[in-house]
Amino acid sequence: MKVAFKEISKQYKGKYALHNFSAELERGVYGLLGTNGAGKTTLINILVGILKSDKGQVLINDIDARKSGVQFLSHIGYLPQFPQFYKNFEVMDFLKYMCLLKEIPLQQGEKRAKELLEVVNLSSAARKKIGALSGGMRQRVGIAQAMLGDPDILILDEPTAGLDPQERIRFRNLITKFSENRIVLLATHIVSDIEFIANQVILLKDGQLLKQDTPQALMESLNGKVWHVIATDKTLDEKLKRLKISNMQRDQDNILLRVIDDEKPDEHAASVQANLEDVFLYYFGEGEQW
Amino acid sequence: MVRLVCFEWRKHFLKRSIIIAMLLFSVLNIAKVYSIHEESSLLANPGWKDLYWKEWADFGGAITNKRIEKLMNIYLPLEQLTADHTASTKYRTPDTYLSNVYEDWNFFRLNYVDPMKYAYDYKAYAQGVVSAAKENIAFYESVDNSYERNKNAVIAKLFEGRSITSFAYTEMYQYYVQYDFSGLLVLLICLYGLMSVFLHEKVTEMDILLLTSKAGGKATIWAKLIASALFVSSVSFWFWVVDFVSFSIIFDSWDAASSPLFMLVDFIHAALNVSLWQYAILSALIKTAGILVFALAFLFMSILFRNALIPFIISLFISFISIYFEEVTMGSGRIWIKVINPFVLLFNRELFRKIEFVSLVGFPLPSYIAALLLATAWGALLLGGILIVVRKNTLWKGGGNRVHLEV
Amino acid sequence: MSIWKYEIKKMLLLHKGLLFICLYFFLSIGTMVILDEPANPEVEMNRMQYRFYLNQVQGPYTEETEHFFTSEANKISDAKVALQRVTDNFYDGYIGEQEFLTSSDSLAIILKNEVGFQLVYNQYVYVRENPDNRKFLNTNGWDGLLSNDSLDFLFILLVLLLVTPIFCYEFESKMDALLLTVKKGAKTHTLCKIGLVFVIVSLLCLVTAGLRYGFYSFKYGLENGDYPLQSLSYFGTSIKDVTLLQSFLWITIGKLLGNLCFATLILFASVCFKKYAITLFSCTTVVLLPYYGLKLESSKFLWPGPLGFMVSTGFFRGNEFKRNLVKDQMELIFREVSFTSWIIVFTITFSLCVVMLIVILHKRTNVWIVQHRKRRRRLPLLILVLGIAVSMLVGCNSFNGVMIEGTYNYSSKGSFENDKYRFYMEQTEFGNNQIVFEDKTSGEKHNLVRNPMTSLTQIGAPIYGDGTYIYYMKIDFEKIGFQESATRFSVIGVDITRFNEKIIFEKKLSTDKGTVLGLVKGNTYVASFYLTVSAFFLDESSLYLIGQSNGQTEIRKINRTTGAMSVLFRIPVLRSFAFDGRTIYFVDEKSQIVKYDTKTDIMTSIIDLVTRDFILTDTELLFLNRKDQQKIYAMNLHDSTIRKLTEVPVLSFRYNNPYITYIGKIDMKEYQLFIDSSSN
């Protein structure tokens, strides 16, 4: 399975939400990373067919998605941002309903729903009303419904937003589990989610593709650009103004600053290994002032 | 608090849909007033209108014997000519004002003679009422009926000195005071506008957040209530102004504004000694009070549910039931039943066209005051209901005793 | 389960649709049972008599019918004269009892159904205006079913409750986006929802129509469905060539279309606005405002949209005119909707529905499924919906039991007396009635009706008194512009000790739609009866009115709580009449006194008591004995013994305890006679 975006553009009130966006996705987990308003949800909505692009094409295995028509939908599983679902439906009933809408035969669907509930650890909540579930549980119902038809493409829009750390870890593991032999497109601005599970990261800024690479490569591209600088209370203000700082940590009288800079910011500065947060800050943190 | 009210106003009422609805409804309202003019006004006929204002120079203004004489000099021959229905119906002969003598007779009878006779006779009629009331005072005293005695004393005082000295064109007011359609429009807009006041917070899940902020509890609820009251008042006043202005323009009359309310035949026993313009303002205020009571009912309904579906339907149903009972009791002598329905404030001619009383522990209370007091009681009850049912922070005093009634 | 089943489950169970449907039927049946009043109550009150004559003329107007009416009218008037003659002859001793009984019985049979004849005759007057398309039939059932332009407000609320959540709930649950990404979640799902709405609304509409048909069929009967629609006066001027049953079916189809259009509008608004409040608001206003706002009734049938079809009856009405008294010309009050106009309205409405359905499907479709999409119009949806909206737009109180004291006689209907006062009617110098009372000891005279504001109120001449209360009746008027109309009939009780007034009974008389929204409207037939009331009396549960209907004097009983009215009986010649608190005494067509027990509804004739003039006292029945040259006799009420009081024939008499004042028939002089009831 291969998904290709070809020069996708979308405008809202004269402003580009997506501008000539092109990218290719093959098997693996893709982290769609960008600030709020970067165009992540717009891109996902175009991919799943909720929104129509003003320009460009989406190709599935080199065939225009438009030509695939309804068949295309059987390839995708989608978990929208902040899903609520029918509060007065029971979990199992809801999954059966989704099976019906996805044209999954009844028995097969029921079996698959049970399996998925097992996988997402919700078997005991199968007869509970959705309205009675916690945010994390509801999110797990969401991913279960997305996985119902064993889709080739799994699209998750901000799936971990609002989850506690334990739920988030559990969810990340689920994504990894479900990523086998399929494309998983994970839109988020939570860097750590992507850092641990994404094979590729798509950096989206102002509706345009900034960079697409593996997390490792992106981090390596920042080698020699991430520094540890020691500052005191007296010098801190001057450094904050001058430097792009990704982290600060007080160590007794001194303050350890993690600085991102193309050049060595200080003669005592020590080069350190970059992480994905640094990458994020490097590309999206321009003009940010402390 | 002022800023909170402003925010609430902006949040719930500064909506394009409300503004468009207001504009559309205003156009519809004006069209409706126009249709009343075309259907009912004597001067909708251009010939009559021209003649009316031509004759107005002679007969308008202070009622004097000279004017009456002049009018009767025109009218009595017409009456004689038409009495046996044998006069010529030949079209526009030189000695007729309009198409024929019958039309002339109708014109003068309906536009000048009957209204002027009413105005002229009113003083004597009012004196008759006063003397009858005074006679009643003595009579009821003799039978030890203090309620009736007091009632008649109020009537005597009310009618004392009433007279109509000036002849004015009152047709516009005759239909203006009977006009109810705008009340329905206001009610519908308010119903729509108010549905979101509390429900919006639930839908956006802001209700919980609001509870946790300092001014998000009581202050916000009061801000919502004040903003709602302001919205309801604004919508109401806008429509009452549209009513008045469109009636005035379409009927081409600003003339009778200073005439007394009892100048209108149907208000011969008017409950107040006010002029027509004063009544227009008073009526607008009372109608607004009525709408406010219903607004509280709509808000109360909306608090009980999670979305607007059922509260909207229940509110609409209640409104129509109230209108139904208003129609059933209109003109009834059972005053308590009439005034207990807050809708009577909206169609308040029923309260002012005739002085009526209810007995409050033996004291005669004018029906309009009773209606206002009962509406206030309804309002207080609903307000209390809202304050009890609305979600509160349990840390507040009494917050833990929240009555959870959400459906 | 199929998508259908899930959608049904959502609509009927999760959204409580089933509960609302049950509630609707409960309220609908309740309002029909409680509020329905026959279009012509006279027919229902005289069902048997009406039936008797209707059965003879039912069907088309023919020459035979003409002859029938002429001969029957003559027969009735001849019978009246003949009965009078036979009675006179019998009491004057010219014919024997057997002959009298034979003749009078046969004549009484003819006269028994006179009121029925009058009712059918009224129909005859209508039918003969245009005998080609009007036939004789019992119209109350069909009138109830068809002759109104009322909007089923409860049904509107039900449709709103059922249809609005169909899409709004998806938006509320934020399922809209997710549904679009699944195979059957877009078009199929939407079509399924639309289909379900159409099926449910259609079913409900048909069941409601069936229910109404059943109700009217059960209550009044719906016979002669094959008669032309014009047989009902409501459709009298219609030029549509349809039968009653066909009209009902067409109207039902029209209503079905209207409700489907309304449901489509709700679906459309909910897909566009995605929120409950604005969807409900816009759809409600599109229907209610033109309904209550448009002055010319026919306008609502000439504008596209659901409203005209939801009412539908107007499509079958003809041009109707009303005389404008001022302009002295006929003014159009209803413009017939021609077939061409109907086709245009239908086409536009249908097109609007199709456009709305297309928009719904379009908005609920996945982009990848749509092959060719036109560029999205950027016109705000709100304006689009409101534009459609505009196109559619422009187009008896608690009362303590009455303790009857003394008796009521028709001859003293304008007066009443107790130990302290004498009440009577006095004509003022302006010709108005004024009820006054006189203190028997001091001779002081006062007005009984003490309301100083006498204008726009007319006090009726009759009064009725019991122990502590004196009752009078009044009619209130309103005057708007130059038009004055009666608005309300009331019976007021005044307590004789402190002269407080209380309302015993009220009835709305105004038959126009002027008040507020015109939800409550009086009945012309009922109002015309109240305006002729010449006497009344009452007991703890009922009010009895004596008035005129179809040229006959009737006594009607009215339930003081419910206002339900029924005809107790007719009085051929209203000269004497009495009520003792339980029993009504009146004179029948054979000049016999009949007693009617108001508690048991048993009617008995007092044999051998022949009179036209009688007065009931507490212990006796005083009467002018027709069998003894109109001399005054008295019958003891306890043992029924009769005694003669005068030896001379009497022209008229009155009773003022313990005196009888009478005028001698021969010398025309007035005499006073002391009667001692105890001596009897």
pLDDT in tens, C645-676: 888 888 888 887 778 888 887 888 888 888 76
CA-nearest of C531, C96, C388, C184 to B20 is C388
- Can you tell me whether residue C176 is helix, strand or coil? helix
Q: Which positions 108-167 of C are in contact with B (Cβ < 8 Å)?
A: 153, 157, 160-161, 164-165
Higher per-residue confidence, C9 vs B101: C9
Q: What pLDDT is recorded for position B206?
A: 67
Q: What is the mean pLDDT of residues C411-419?
A: 78
| Burial A51-62, CB ≥16 within 10 A → b, else e | bbbbebebbbee
- Rounded to a whole number of angstroms, the distance from the CA of A256 to the nearest CA of chain C is 45
d(CA B35, CA B21): 21
d(CA A117, CA B340): 59
C369 near A CB under 8 A: yes
- pLDDT at residue C27 is higher than 80: yes
d(CA C263, CA C202): 10
Give the pairing type, strands A183-188 and A153-157: parallel
Which chains does C contact via 3+ CB–CB distances below 8 A? A, B
Q: Which of A227-241, B58-72, C389-403: highest mean pLDDT?
A: B58-72
| Burial B207-236, CB ≥16 within 10 A → b, else e | beebbeeeebbeebbbbbbbbbbebbbebb
d(CA A59, CA C354): 34
DSSP C243: B
Q: Which residue of B has its CA nearest to C393?
A: B28
- Rounded to a whole number of angstroms, the distance from the CA of C188 to the nearest CA of chain B is 26
d(CA C423, CA C90): 40
- Can you tell me whether residue C304 is helix, strand or coil? coil
- pLDDT at residue C103 is higher than 50: yes
SS (H, E, C) B145-207: CHHHHHHHHHHHHHHCCCCCCEECCCHHHHHHCCCCHHHHHHHHHHHHHHHHHHHHHHHCCHH
Q: What pLDDT is recorded for position C486?
A: 85
Place of tokens 């036979």: C86
d(CA C470, CA C415): 10
Place of tokens 């011969």: B268
pLDDT (tens digit per residue) in B330-361: 888 888 888 999 999 998 888 998 999 998 88
Q: What pLDDT is recorded for position C394?
A: 45
Residue B215: C-alpha distances to residues A80, B221, B400, C102, C552 (Å):
34, 9, 18, 96, 76
CA-nearest of A182, A170, A200, A194 to A146 is A182
- The low-confidence residues of chain A, meaning pLDDT below 70, are 162, 286-290
Q: What is the mean pLDDT of residues B264-274?
A: 91
In the predicted model, what is the mean pLDDT of chain B? 86
- Can you tell me whether residue B357 is helix, strand or coil? strand
Contact assignment for C499 to B327 by CB distance below 8 Å = no
Task: Report the residue from A69, A82, A97 with minimal CB separation from C369.
Answer: A69
Higher per-residue confidence, C77 vs B203: C77
Q: What pLDDT is recorded for position A188?
A: 80
The CATH code for residues A3-219 is 3.40.50.300
Q: What pLDDT is recorded for position C80?
A: 82
Q: Are B151 and B364 in contact (CB under 8 A)?
A: yes
Residue B316 identity: L
- Rounded to a whole number of angstroms, the distance from the CA of C310 to the nearest CA of chain B is 19
Residue C109 identity: I
Confidence of residue C133 (pLDDT cuts 50, 70, 90): confident
Residues of chain A contacting C179 with CB distance shorter than 8 Å: 101
Tokens of C314: 């107007």
Q: What is the mean pLDDT of residues C454-471?
A: 84
- Rounded to a whole number of angstroms, the distance from the CA of C224 to the nearest CA of chain A is 52
Contact assignment for C368 to A49 by CB distance below 8 Å = yes
Q: What pLDDT is recorded for position C281?
A: 94
For residue A191, which phi and psi values (nearest 5 degrees)?
-65, -40
Give the pairing type, strands C135-136 and C59-60: antiparallel
d(CA A75, CA A235): 56
SS (H, E, C) chain A: CCEEEEEEEEEECCEEEEEEEEEEECCEEEEEECCCCCCHHHHHHHHHCCCCCCEEEEEECCEEHHHHCHHHHCCEEEECCCCCCCCCCEHHHHHHHHHHHCCCCHHHHHHHHHHHHHHCCCHHHCCCEHHHCCHHHHHHHHHHHHCCCCCCEEEEECCCCCCCHHHHHHHHHHHHHHCCCCEEEEEECCHHHHHHHCCEEEEEECCEEEEEECHHHHHHCCCCCEEEEEECHHHHHHHHHHCEEEEEEEECCEEEEEEECCCCCCCCCEECCCCHHHHHHHHHCCCCCC
Q: How many residues does chain C have?
A: 680
Measure the CA dihedral C449/C453/C455/C456, to 10°.
-80
Q: What is the mean pLDDT of residues B370-375?
A: 94
Q: What pLDDT is recorded for position C639?
A: 81
pLDDT (tens digit per residue) in B149-175: 999 999 999 999 999 988 888 888 988
ipTM (interface predicted TM):
0.88
Q: What pLDDT is recorded for position B407?
A: 44
Q: What pLDDT is recorded for position B287?
A: 94
- Rounded to a whole number of angstroms, the distance from the CA of C407 to the nearest CA of chain B is 26
Confidence of residue C399 (pLDDT cuts 50, 70, 90): very low
Q: Which residue of C has its CA nearest to A13?
A: C378
Residue C364 identity: R
d(CA B36, CA B176): 10
Residue C662: C-alpha distances to residues C423, C647, C667, C669, C670 (Å):
21, 12, 11, 8, 5
In the predicted model, what is the mean pLDDT of chain C? 83
Residues of chain B contacting C278 with CB distance shorter than 8 Å: 17, 192
pLDDT (tens digit per residue) in C590-632: 778 888 888 888 888 887 788 888 888 878 888 888 777 788 8
- pLDDT at residue B370 is higher than 60: yes
Q: What pLDDT is recorded for position C372?
A: 45
Give the pairing type, strands C483-495 and A153-157: unpaired
The C-alpha angle with vertex C180 and arms to C174 and C182, in degrees rounded to 5, equals: 110
Percent of chain B whose predicted confidence (pLDDT) is above 70: 90
d(CA C222, CA C218): 8
Task: Report the residue from C280, C393, C446 with minimal CB separation from B308.
Answer: C280
Q: What is the mean pLDDT of residues C543-564?
A: 84
Q: What pLDDT is recorded for position C295?
A: 67
Q: Which residues contact residue C336 at a Cβ distance below 8 angstroms, ignoring those fewer than 6 apart?
A: C237, C238, C239, C298, C317, C318, C319
Contact assignment for C481 to B40 by CB distance below 8 Å = yes
d(CA C70, CA C72): 5
Q: What pLDDT is recorded for position A21?
A: 87
Contact assignment for A102 to C180 by CB distance below 8 Å = no
d(CA B195, CA B301): 9
- pLDDT at residue B215 is higher than 80: no
Q: Which positions 622-661 of C are in contact with A (Cβ < 8 Å)?
A: none
A98 near C CB under 8 A: yes
Q: Are A215 and A201 in contact (CB under 8 A)?
A: yes
d(CA B287, CA B343): 9
Residues of chain A contacting C177 with CB distance shorter than 8 Å: 45, 48, 50, 78, 80
CA-nearest of B112, B187, B147 to B347 is B187
Number of CB atoms found within 10 A of residue C354's CB: 11
Contact assignment for B159 to C452 by CB distance below 8 Å = yes
pLDDT (tens digit per residue) in C43-83: 888 888 888 888 888 888 888 888 888 888 888 888 888 88
Q: Are C596 and C611 in contact (CB under 8 A)?
A: no
CA-nearest of C29, C371, C39, C364 to C181 is C364
CA-nearest of C301, C46, C302, C20 to C163 is C20
Query: Which residues pair with residue C609 across a beta bridge?
Result: none
For residue B90, which phi and psi values (nearest 5 degrees)?
-60, 140
Q: What is the mean pLDDT of residues B89-100?
A: 70
Instruction: Find which of B122, B202, B332 to mutate to test the C interface (most C CBs within 10 Å of its CB).
Output: B332
- Can you tell me whether residue C554 is helix, strand or coil? strand
Residues of chain A contacting C376 with CB distance shorter than 8 Å: 52
Residues of chain A contacting C14 with CB distance shorter than 8 Å: 86, 88-89
pLDDT (tens digit per residue) in B104-161: 888 888 888 888 999 999 999 999 999 999 998 998 888 888 888 999 999 999 999 9
Query: Which residues pair with residue C299 across a beta bridge?
Result: none
Question: In chain A, what are the domain boundaries?
Answer: 3-219, 224-272
Q: What is the mean pLDDT of residues C191-195?
A: 91
Which chains does A contact via 3+ CB–CB distances below 8 A? C
Tokens of C251: 């109207």
How far from the centroid of its chain's Cα atoms is residue C328's Cα? Answer: 30
Q: What pLDDT is recorded for position C379?
A: 47
Confidence of residue C496 (pLDDT cuts 50, 70, 90): confident
Task: Report the residue from B309, B316, B332 with minimal CB separation from C488.
Answer: B332
Query: Which residues pair with residue A145 across a beta bridge?
Result: none
Confidence of residue C515 (pLDDT cuts 50, 70, 90): low
Q: Which strand ranges, in their side-by-side order, compose the sheet holding C433-439?
A: C415-417, C421-427, C433-439, C445-447
- Rounded to a whole number of angstroms, the distance from the CA of C361 to the nearest CA of chain A is 13
Q: How many residues does chain B have?
A: 407
